[in-house]
Amino acid sequence: SFPGTSNWSGDYFRGGTTGAAVVIKQNGDKRALVREMKAIFERDWNSIYAHPLDEYFVGCIERGALVDFCEAEKDPSLFAAPFTE
């Protein structure tokens, strides 16, 4: 299990607000924690509060909060350059 965060942006890591991580390994047939973490991930991934990253980037970064799920304004210099092949 590796719980993460919802705000994986540059200012989160540079701002001194990083938290802690817990790594747990379970062996054998009884892997209740693994099942529970998977269920939590799938619940959050499929929730009404989850949005595709391209919608977030276009709506919140490029066009300046034109959609209703943007948080506080981010410094675009903290984001990685778009991937090109």
**Cα 7 to Cα 16, 17, 38, 45, 81, distances in angstroms:** 13, 11, 20, 14, 18
Assessment of whether the complete model's pTM goes beyond 0.85: no
* 43-54 mean pLDDT: 84
CB 71 within 8 A of CB 64: no
pLDDT at 15 over 60: no
Q: What's the confidence (pLDDT) of residue 43?
A: 92
Q: What's the confidence (pLDDT) of residue 42?
A: 92
